[in-house]
Structure 1
Amino acid sequence: MNAAATLRALLAQDTCHTMPCCFDALSARLIQQEGYPLTFMSGFAASASRIGAPDLGLMSYGEVLDQARNIADAIDIPLIGDGDTGYGNAMNVRRTVAGFAKAGCASVMIEDQLAPKRCGHTPGKAVVAREEAFDRIRAAVDERARLRDQGGDILILARTDARHEHGLDEAIARAAEFARLGADILFVEAPKNVEEMTRICAELPGTKMANIVEGGETPDLTNAELHEIGYGIAAYPLSLMAAAMQAMVTSLRAMKQDQRPRQMDFVELRQRIGFDEYYKASETYASSKR
């Protein structure tokens, strides 16, 4: 199966998939090595990793696409790419969807924020009018249909941030229309309590995604609790980046004191990066033995 078909099969399972989010090829590779069935390229984490800047629309379409391509090339599990607002009007959305499909993504997220977008758990968010939001998803679905006609495929993850500015009723209404237009996965960002999360899952069809940010607005429930509520995916966009940053800061501070902090040993490090695989494959070629 291709990446999109693999993701569809996963979403058909009666479970809530824990989805650690990656930010580069190495973090995605580690996610796969630890047995997770899918991952998501976090825009927040990718922006921090690639350009050392906050997720406030500073990374260009080309930079985001390049990051997604590098990640998809490094793993075999389905990757969901962060397509932000689609980088322009409806025709830009179509180009974004096509680009992410060509890069190897199983799905692409398109949202209804006003550009430049902001992290879903930070202040200052605003969304476009309903008509523009619906046009974005309609364009994404149209491009998915074109890709299928040509033998390709990609899933559309439709996100709304309307809860912050207009309340939960508006957010659910937008997501319901996204589903009617043909979105494959629905993401209502930043519900504030379990009651709101329950309403989202009860009133909307298909697969719903929860976004769990440690210290964010949405309750950090267990996977079993999220499944019982009705979620099919639980995304953790910052867990790996926060852990990596903490480890690096700890190591840097220890080195200032001429200490050597405990870390992954060199043998495991080489193995996880792929040195062993490389050497084993290279042994099949006589010229590599010279």
Structure 2
Amino acid sequence: MTPPDRLRALLDQERLLVMPCCFDPLSAKLIEQAGFPLTFMSGFAASAARIGEPDLGLMSYAEVADQARAIADAVSIPLIGDGDTGYGNAMNVRRTVRGFARAGCAAVMIEDQKAPKRCGHTPGKEVVDREEAFDRIRAAADARASDDILILARTDARHEHGLAEAIDRAHRFHELGADILFVEAPKTASEMRTICAELPGPKMANIVEGGETPALSHAELQDIGFSIAAYPLTLLAAAMQAMTRALGQLACDAPRDGLMDFAELRRRIGFDAYYEESETYRSSARAR
């Protein structure tokens, strides 16, 4: 099946899909090796990993698309790409959606923030007016006509305009063709229940450790009605914590504990699989 078809099949199972988010091909491979059925390229984490800068619209479309292409090529599970605001007007949104489809993404997220966008759990974010937001999703759906990809439509209107406005926008996104709806940063479990009760189709929850949305259990999220639970910063935060700890130990010439065994490191990166496959060709050469 194509990546979009694999994602559709997962959504048809009507169970919560726990989705750790990646930032590069290696983190995506680890997610797949751990048995998770899909992943999302977090804009926050990818910006930190690729350019060492905060997620404030500093990565260009070309950089984001290139990162998505490298990740999609490294794994077989469906990848959802972060298309931010679409990088311009509605015509830019069309190009962004087509580019993410050709990069191998199963879905692309398009949001209604003003550019430059901000992380959904940081101060200062603003959204465009309704008609511009709707034009973005309409353009995304139109682009899908030539390149198969699912549309994940995100609204950040809860922050400025309240939950009712966010839900109204998401309703319209669904009518315009969005496949998955994402109301960012609800502040209580009650708001999360309202989102799932009032909106049609698959909904995504975004669980940022230390963020504004309650970090409910998987069972609670499924009971409320979410189809996907995204964890955008779990791996980045864990990796940064481990690296700063190891650097501190190295600086004071202390033993480096907590490191992955070298043999497992090689296996997870793919050395063992490479050598095994290369032997097949070496045997063929010897036979000739």
Q: Shared topology, TM-score over 0.5?
A: yes
Residue equivalent to 1:124: 124
**Structure 2 match to 1:150:** none
For residues 248 and 282 of structure 2, the distance between their equivalents in structure 1, rounded to whole angstroms, comes to: 46
Residue of structure 2 equivalent to 1:182: 177
Q: Classify the secondary structure of the residue corresponding to 2:210.
A: coil
User: Among 250, 257, 276, which residue is 2:272 paired with?
Assistant: 276
SS of aligned partner of 1:207: coil
Q: Secondary structure of 1:44's partner?
A: helix
Query: Equivalents in 2 of 1:21, 1:117: separation in Å?
Result: 19
CA deviations on 1:213-245 (whole Å, 9 max, x unpaired) are 000000000000000001000000000000000
Structure 2: where are the runs of 5+ without partners? none
Aligned residue number for residue 50 of structure 1: 50
Q: CA 1:82–1:288 in structure 2 vs 1: closer, same or farther (change >3 Å)?
A: farther
Q: Which residue of 1 aligns with 2:145?
A: 145
- Alpha-carbon distance between aligned partners in 2 of 1:249 and 1:288, rounded to the nearest angstrom: 47
1:182-221 paired onto structure 2 within 5 Å: 182-221=177-216
Q: Which amino acid aligns with 1:172?
A: I
Aligned-residue offset at 1:146: 2.2
Tell me if 1:39 matches 2:39: yes
Pick aligned residue for 1:165 from 155, 160, 166: 160
- How far is 1:187 from its partner? 0.1
Residue 260 of structure 2: aligned partner:
264
Question: 1:238-249, aligned counterparts within 5 Å?
Answer: 238-249=233-244
Q: Matched residues in 2 for 1:41 and 1:80: separation?
A: 6
Q: SS where residue 208 of structure 2 aligns? A: coil
Deviations 1:57-96 (A, max 9, x none): 0000000000000000000000000000000011100000
The CA deviation at 1:247 is 0.2
Q: Which amino acid aligns with 1:282?
A: S
Inter-partner Cα distance in structure 2 for 1:259 and 1:94: 53
- Please tell me whether the aligned partners of residues 282 and 288 of structure 1 are also in contact (alpha carbons under 8 angstroms): no
CA apart distance, 1:289: 8.1
Secondary structure in 1 matching 2:203: strand
Sequence identity of aligned pairs in percent?
74
3-state SS of 1:145 partner: coil
Kindly indicate whether residue 219 of structure 2 is the aligned counterpart of residue 224 of structure 1.
yes
Verify the 8 A CA contact 1:158 1:175 in the aligned structure 2. Answer: yes
CA–CA distance in 2 between the matches of 1:51 and 1:286?
40
8 Å CA contact retained: 1:283, 1:289? no
Instruction: Supply the distance in 2 between the matched residues of 1:78 and 1:57 (Cα, whole angstroms).
Output: 25
Contact kept? 1:85, 1:115, Cα under 8 Å = yes
State the SS of the aligned residue for 1:20. Answer: strand
Displacement after TM superposition at 1:196 (Å) = 0.5
User: Residues of 2 paired with 1:287 and 1:222: CA distance?
Assistant: 51
Q: CA deviation at 1:288?
A: 9.8
Give structure 1 stretches of 5+ with no counterpart.
148-152
* 4+ runs deviating over 6 angstroms: 287-290
CA drift of 1:14 comes to: 2.1
Paired position in structure 1 for 2:151 = 156
Structure 1 residue 251: Cα displacement: 0.3
SS of aligned partner of 1:80: strand
Matches within 5 A, 1:99-118: 99-118=99-118
Backbone CA RMSD of aligned residues: 1.2
State the match for 1:28 in structure 2: 28
> What's the offset of the Cα at 1:260?
2.4
